[in-house]
Amino acid sequence: MKKTKQWTLATDKKANDEIIEEAAAMINAGELVAFPTETVYGLGADALSDEAVERIFQAKGRPQDNPLIAHVATQEQLLSLVTSVPPFVEQLIYHFSPGPITYVLPSNGTCASRVTAGLSTVAIRIPDHPVALALIKASGRPIAAPSANTSGKPSPTEASHVIEDLSGKIAGILDGGQTGIGMESTVVDCTSNVPIILRPGGVTADEIRKVVGEVKIANAQSTEEKKPLSPGVKYRHYSPDVPLTLMRPSVTHMQQYIDDAQANGKIVGVLASDALSRQLIARKTFALGSDLSQIAKNIYRGLRSFSHEEVDEIICETFPKEGIGIAIMNRLERAAEKNSTNNK
Ligand code: TXA
Ligand code: MG
């Protein structure tokens, strides 16, 4: 067990510059530093070093065949990691980067092979967060970073979530407060003529379609024989400590469920929009916000919120699969998947 250093970023630029320099020096020494991005907190390591990247897998308990995203600060740095970039990617970069979108492109072998898990492609994104960008620039190299949670758990949207999962296992955490979007980036396969969305996220299919005309959506659960396009989609993900059930947003239906559970001596934690949570009578309720972007921002915090309370199960309302709602429902459905065991 090592001591994890925690830096709180202030508004004072000079003080922050010193903190970033210190954190970048740790990255360059092969250590792990968690940092905020506009989506969720990332767990960063030197993307050029297999040894450093291996530490990410150990700290998270991440399956070895699940590749990582290389985070870069500029388009130029992105180009330095790939063999070629189709014209539609230039358009996507122009419109959405820096931002919550990740491009899967043919790797030129610059990133350590542990980053790509041996694939011929590499996933790259330019995060839209001053701390993330400053850290990448100060370290002078791409930073490999998955979400900074224990594998299988909800992604961290606050430094306290990272501490909960990884304290003592990583060198440092840059605390930049709550992240803005709360959902991970959209992962887009850019190795053919048409972009294919492998994981829905902060940039929606409609937004991508408006820029490039056509976009395909990969089937999340591909057939057993076929290797999933995005290796990460086959693993248990985003799960709270107790079972999660999704329910349509009906007051009567949900109230009945809560009352029945209570009659059986069980305590239900309820995750619902502000409006619905005001109408439900339950012992533990977490109000997620009043629109889809607030709900996206708060959903992982909500899923973690009951972990220190005596809650036997969690119920959450379903949301419309439109805009960022597609990403929210993708994560909730994965989190609610039964028949798999908890990852630690
Ligand atoms: O917003 C985000 O994307 C956050 C922040 C920290 O940047 N990162 C994140 O990383 O969500 P992670 O490791 O939790 O998810 C990365 C996803 C996984 O589903 C992985 O399988 C996929 O990207 N991926 C990575 N490299 C890939 C590749 N070469 N081909 C296909 N999928 C890839
Ligand atoms: Mg993740």
Query: What was the pLDDT predicted at 126?
Result: 98
Over the stretch 211-226, which tens digit does the pLDDT of each residue have? 999 999 997 544 443 4
pLDDT at 233: 66
- Cα(250) to ligand 2 centroid in Å equals 31
CA-to-CA distance for 63 and 80, rounded, in angstroms? 27
Question: Taking the model in full, what pTM does it have?
Answer: 0.94
179 CA distance to ligand 1 middle (Å): 17
**What pLDDT, on a 0 to 100 scale, did the predictor assign at position 343?**
35
- In this prediction, residue 220 carries a pLDDT of 56
pLDDT beneath 50, residues of the chain = 221-227, 339-344
The ligand with the least distance to the CA atom of 343 is 2
Domain-wise residue ranges, the chain: 5-225, 244-340
| 123 Cα nearest atom in ligand 1 | 26
User: How far lies 56's CA from each of 59, 123, 139, 174, 281, in Å?
Assistant: 5, 16, 17, 16, 42
Which atom of ligand 1 lies closest to the CA of 42? 6
C-alpha 142/C-alpha 46 separation (Å) is 7
CATH number of 244-340: 3.40.50.11030
| CATH, domain 5-225, list 1.10.3720.10, 2.40.70.10, 3.30.2420.10, 3.90.870.10 | 3.90.870.10
Tokens of 165: 């999962």
